[in-house]
Structure 1
Amino acid sequence: MNATHSEQTSLVDTDWWSVGTVTVGITVFAIAQGLTYPLISLLLSAREVSDTMIGLNAAAFMLGLGTSVLVVPRLTRSLRAGQVIVAGLLGAAISLGGFAATDNLAAWFFLRFALGFCVNAIYVFGEAWLNAATADAVRGRVSGVYSAGMATGFVIGPLAIPVFGIEGGLAFAACAVLVSFVAFGLALLSKRARVEPEKPAISELPRFARSAPMLVFLVVAFGFIDASVLSLSPVYLTGAGASAALAATFLAVMHIGMIVAQPVLGMVLDRMDRWHVAAGCLAATGLIFLMLTFASIDGWAIWALAALGGSAFLGIYTSALAILGQEHSGKALTSGAAAFSLAYAAGGVIGPVVTGSLVSAVPSGTFVPVAVIGLCGACAVWLKR
């Protein structure tokens, strides 16, 4: 009875308007990110651009993400968190429109950087806002729903490729229109929110990193895996004889697994030690992607492994988000959210570059770095925690 009463109190104490705003925002950002990763890789591959250059272009997104951590807080001191997210969405729409308007490779590096810069708005403000608005007893489930929304966006993004094709910029233009419409909707929705997170303080980032190194590591590992898999698995599959539509479907299946698994994982996070769950997700990621290295693209196993692999590696981030809200509050919470952005960007820059360089030398080794990070990361978390 006491547990039921406590949970009911937690449901009341949670600001669901804030949770809804952040979740819808991350879903739409994920649509843009989920579309651009495979679509740009496929377009550049069709132009016979090297795997290393494709990895560097993906890293430009992460560089924009990291740069904005240092700039956005100063530019948005007088804005509410909801206004920052709406501004980020509008900036993302403009960037996507740029991809539709030009096929110049140098311009695409700038546009990829700009898209990362805008997307960071929700990573810095949104995740601190989400945790500030959520009671701890339901934090795992809210984090799971948030991650499921992110995964839903990643499913919709790649599926636009078979619908709109990869030529002519139509997929980019359609995504730009969608993001613009949602931005105006969120501008209205965010006005009902009653919780406002503290502004991130850049000076607090080193202190947070020193106090929570393993938490930062979880997000670096996730960024490495996420960027590597999204940007280079389409190239790996098409190089092995798969069609562009099959490569996009592979990513969609991976993210459908995420959607199904994250709410369930959220319930587990509310009932078990969250660090143990994070270590389990790392280990599962390593094992699954090791098996994908040897799986045939013509067999059924590749689809099962895709769904399980996506569920496992997104679970790393879902766990980190729940642990952040559990162990930190106030300025440390907002500084942690900003540190998460930098950590994700660092992993996202390193991942495609390292993996792309390896693929240029060993075409079958696309998933090997992901497997190593997952397995070694699980060992590190177990030893430290």
Structure 2
Amino acid sequence: MLQVLGGVWALLLGITLIMIGNGMQSTLIGVRGGLEGFSASALAVVTSGYFAGFLAGARLAPRLIRNVGHVRVFAALGSFMSAGLIAFPLLTEPWAWTLFRLALGFCMSGVYVTAESWLNNAATNENRGKLLSAYMLAQTLGMIAAQGLLTRADAGGATLFIAASILVSLSFGPILLSATPVPAAEITKPMSLRRLYEASPLGTVGIFLLGGVFAAQAGMGAVYGSQAGLTVDQVALFVAMLFAGSLVLQYPIGWVSDRMDRRLLILSLAAIGAASCLLGYLSDLALWPLMAAAFVMGGMASPLYSLFVAYTNDYLEVEDMPAASGGLVFVYGLGAISGPLIAGWAMQAAGPQAFWLFLIALFAAISGYAGWRMTRRPSLPAGETGAYVGVMPTSSPMALEAAQEWSYELAEQEEAKSESGAP
């Protein structure tokens, strides 16, 4: 493993630093917005701006890379991100923050596309799975570490925004000084929504609903905590528990998914997610029940994303997988834009506890739709399904394509072993 990481350690270090900086500002927006007196609906628009920018970046970044190259795009987007992070405390208006978040989402998506194309170029059939796992681990650990740093200074000042900007600026040094330029990023044109739905209705509808879940919990979680009366330390711990759950539960859920009907697993995980949100709703802000709810809720959301990708792949030909990855990211992005908006409006009308009710409704919808789809089409035998590969919902189509390629390679290896009778 150390030998595999030797060639990409700088890239992983840089991504970790970027995630720390980006994770700090994402939670800080909710806390600082509350201090500035922003309404829940205003902060919902600010949050959705990030995901709108992210979706646009995923579509346009490959074109920029083809025109001017990886290094220039990476350096330019890094500079814009650093400047945007410093701009937040300079102009504390909802409309300005929405524009800043839109720009940050675009830049972050472009950074992902560039970094993931470098990573994919460095991967071979033998080490692709390890590199993808290390990359997803770096992302998750960065988000968790960000919450710890958030408690080190006053959220009402400019220090934390400056610190996030410094971390992002520093992250590009090791990457740009060590990464070798690669051929221009080529992301296949996304599959049409109609074709995607015809291939996998559950995958399409489920990943749309999950986009709302993930964006609401990650983007509006800090807003909920701030408006419910949690301290900054408690808000940071709450957000950290969301990502800690995904880190701990991703592998065991993946192991189970390769051995049972994935629709039943999707139904079960979504039901557990709804139950965890009900616990959060009934916790009356008691600290440990609240943190347990966040841990389980986060631990269901990220594996569900990987499950929807794997389940969709089960009904696709290999040559259609790259186009499907773009379609899945697009559908997920639509859900991620709408989720915070609906959650914010609900919280504005019914108070911060509406955060939990909205998430309960989404998880229940996923579970119910999965149950209904089980009556529409027979399940595939476990031996005929592709392998589950953990991938973060924040990834670009580049990482999703790499995960699909690795999933197919794993399935071929398993089939070869089965045919040869090897243990």
Give the TM bin, normalised by the shorter chain.
0.7 to 0.9
Q: What is the aligned partner in structure 1 of residue 323 from structure 2? A: 335
Provide the residue aligned with 2:55 in structure 1. Answer: 66
Structure 2: distance between partners of 1:373 and 1:66: 21
Q: Which has the higher contact order (CA 8 A, sep 6+)?
A: 1
Against the structure 1 CA distance between its residues 342 and 41, is the aligned structure 2 distance closer, same or farther, given a 3 Å change threshold?
same
Following the alignment from structure 2 to structure 1, what is the Cα–Cα distance between the partners of residues 313 and 83?
A: 33
1:1-385 maps to which residues of 2 (within 5 A)?
Answer: 27-78=16-67, 88-122=77-111, 124=113, 133=123, 145-191=134-180, 199-202=186-189, 204-206=191-193, 209-210=196-197, 211-269=199-257, 276-322=264-310, 332-363=320-351, 364-384=353-373
Check conservation: 2:24, 2:146, Cα contact below 8 A.
yes
In 2, the alpha carbon distance for the partners of 1:43 and 1:324 equals: 39
The 3 A distance-change label for structure 1 pair 245 and 220 is same
In 1, the alpha carbon distance for the partners of 2:249 and 2:362 equals: 21
Letter in 2 for 1:34: G
Q: 1:49 to 1:198 in 2, by over 3 A?
A: closer
- Matched position secondary structure for 1:49: coil
C-alpha displacement at 1:313, in angstroms? Answer: 1.2
> For residues 69 and 370 of structure 2, what CA distance do their matches in structure 1 show?
36
**C-alpha contact (below 8 Å) 1:222/1:314 kept by paired residues:** no
CA pair 314-358 structure 1, distance change in 2 beyond 3 A: same
Question: Unmatched 5+ residue regions in structure 2?
Answer: 375-423
Counterparts of 1:200 and 1:298, CA distance in 2: 46
Which residue pairs with 2:397 in the alignment?
Answer: none
Could you give the per-residue CA deviations for residues 13-57 of structure 1, whole angstroms, max 9, x where no partner exists?
x98679867765654443344222321122121122211111011
Per-residue deviation, residues 216-273 of structure 1 (Å, max 9, x unmatched): 4343233211221233333333333322221222112232222222244444455555
1:111 deviation in Å? 0.9
Question: Could you report, residue by residue, the CA deviation over 1:101-120 in whole angstroms, capped at 9, with x for unpaired residues?
Answer: 44344322211100010111
Mapped contact 1:219–1:320 kept (Cα < 8 A): yes
Tell me by how many angstroms 1:274 deviates.
5.2
Q: In the aligned structure 2, how far is the partner of 1:362 from the partner of 1:33?
A: 30
C-alpha distance in 1 between matches for 2:317 and 2:71: 20
Q: Distance in 2 between matches of 1:230 and 1:314?
A: 11
> Any conservation in 2 of the 1:83–1:187 contact (CA below 8 Å)?
no
Distance change (3 Å), C-alpha of 1:182 and 1:29: closer
Aligned to 2:396: none
What is the distance in 1 between the residues matched to 2:127 and 2:76? 32
Judging changes above 3 Å, is the alpha-carbon distance between structure 1 residues 62 and 206 closer, same or farther for their aligned structure 2 residues?
Answer: same
SS at match of 1:191: coil
Name which of structure 1's ranges 231-240 and 345-354 shifts more when overlaid on structure 2.
Answer: 231-240
Summarize deviations over 1:281-330 as a string: whole Å, max 9, x none: 32322221122111122253222222122111121223345557777688
Query: How far apart in 1 are the matches of 2:119 and 2:260?
Result: 21
> What amino acid is the match of 1:231?
G
Aligned amino acid, residue 167 of structure 2: L
User: 1:124–1:341: 8 Å Cα contact kept in structure 2?
Assistant: no
* Amino acid paired to 2:150: I
2: distance between equivalents of 1:22 and 1:340? 26
Structure 1 residue 128: Cα displacement? 7.5
Q: Distance in 1 between matches of 2:320 and 2:7?
A: 19
Residues 125, 334 of structure 1: 8 Å contact kept: no
DSSP 3-state at the match of 2:279: helix
CA contact (8 A) 2:25 2:164 kept: no
Instruction: Provide structure 1 residue ranges, at least 5 long, that are not aligned to the other structure.
Output: 1-10
- Equivalent pairs counted in the alignment come to 370
Amino acid at match of 2:249: A
The answer (yes or no) to whether the contact 2:191–2:326 under 8 Å persists in 1 is: no
Which has the higher Rg, Structure 1 or Structure 2?
Answer: 2
Counterpart of 2:369 in 1: which secondary structure? helix
Match of 1:8 in 2: none
Determine the C-alpha separation between the residues in 2 that align with 1:217 and 1:19: 36
Query: Structure 2 CA distance, aligned partners of 1:21 and 1:334?
Result: 27
Give the TM-score, by structure 1 length.
0.80
- In structure 1, distance between residues paired with 2:156 and 2:24: 13
Q: Residues 274 and 81 from structure 1, CA distance in 2 versus in 1: closer, same or farther, beyond 3 angstroms?
A: farther
Q: Tell me by how many angstroms 1:353 deviates.
A: 0.9
Q: Partners in 2 of 1:207 and 1:184 — Cα distance? A: 43
- Identify the range of structure 1 (57-66 vs 144-153) with the bigger mean alpha-carbon deviation: 144-153
| Secondary structure of 1:366's aligned partner | helix
- Aligned-partner SS, 1:161: helix
Distance 2:320 2:70 in 1: 17
Give the counterpart letter for 2:42 in structure 1: M
CA distance in 2 between partners of 1:64 and 1:172 (Å)? 20
